[in-house]
Amino acid sequence: MTPPDLTLDVRSLPAPEPLEHCLEALADLAPGQRLHMLIDREPYPLYTLLDRDGFQHCCTFEETHFQVTIWYDAK
């Protein structure tokens, strides 16, 4: 059974705290689980780290913030 998705709200935190919190949450991500990060700005530096570590991601703008959904695709 897949654990429920996680939501991480890092809006209004100064850099580099959103990145640090995200990486901590990803270390505990279970197979099949997704992380939904809510953030004030698009986290471009994060994308390089996600690609390097084999994570997939999708970013959408939600009127007042970005939502970045991250998951691990172990093909």
Q: What is the pLDDT of residues 9-19, one digit of tens each?
A: 999 999 999 99
pLDDT band at 1 (very low <50, low <70, confident <90, very high): confident
Fill in the amino acid letter for 7: T
pTM of the model: 0.93
Phi-psi region of 45 (alpha: psi -120 to 50; beta: other; left: phi over 0): alpha
Asked if the peptide bond before residue 16 counts as cis, ω within 30 degrees of 0, the response is yes
Phi-psi region of 63 (alpha: psi -120 to 50; beta: other; left: phi over 0): left
